[in-house]
Structure 1
């Protein structure tokens, strides 16, 4: 294993650790503020951070029609993921949510790549996905498969599927990661923006938080 591969593995481990921390933190947040407001503030903050980085690294803001189409779809799916993510955490457990999402996202992504992307998966990769699924079942202490499909878990299953679609679109669109994440976050921000006018309003929401 060369230095680049080691750095890649360390970076992935760090990213997954941050994702794991996000679940209990988000559980605390949804007990303090409305999920729509949390999602809006999250995407607005991400957009505000990424767009200056695009200027700093001289990443072009231009998009082709095809790229714009895929980025818009990814933005909608990203907003849907966050909606399911936060709504599910209002009723469900953060640990269970993290296990379901982390286990099912790569499985959904691999299946979608096989059936719609023409990607072939080796036997070792299939075994790894199966092992991950079985490990998730044990972690969730599920005695019957039907118990996985209770109303609260369906939020997290839907979130995992949405995230798998976003991941596939990020590979298909072939643009700079900063540009993709910046535009997707901006679109998600715009989708949640009406909450400020149709919901409780920003003042009342922040006061309630």
Structure 2
């Protein structure tokens, strides 16, 4: 009997604060990137793994599980709307809760990939929530990626927060100064996660050289 495919969780923590709608193009591109990623994952031939995708949206209402963590082929995407502040702490706490739930992320799952996308400074207490996530069994082993979306709200202090989140200093925080770079980055994520699921060592984390993004069209 063939071995049952193991889940490979991918969780996007999406900043949908008001500044993400200024200009509207930012939130529109982020929605399109996630929709395309879900579609690509759903049709990928991944062999040993099944890619599960969930999206945590955080804004003035706190953090919500906008897309439940399910196999990509079962996801049904609804566009996110931009409004309010940037409660990163609430998003990190929800991500930690999600990863600790063995009914959602079973012990046999491959190490998860967490992708934090933000364009501004957190508006709540986030450090304790981040420490708890990084101290957890799955959170500590996760591939943690961060995208700083360029704009007036993305200060050096805000970027420093994202640097605390990432799991590999070699990859660092990817700075998307224009929306086309967001699209390229998500294409890179899609390709590398799919390659992880196909490989004999799916828990190996990818390292991004920003110069390589030109290979991943928008």
Same fold (TM over 0.5): no
TM-score in terms of structure 2 length: 0.30
**Higher-Rg member (1/2):** 1
Structure 1 or 2: larger strand share?
A: 2
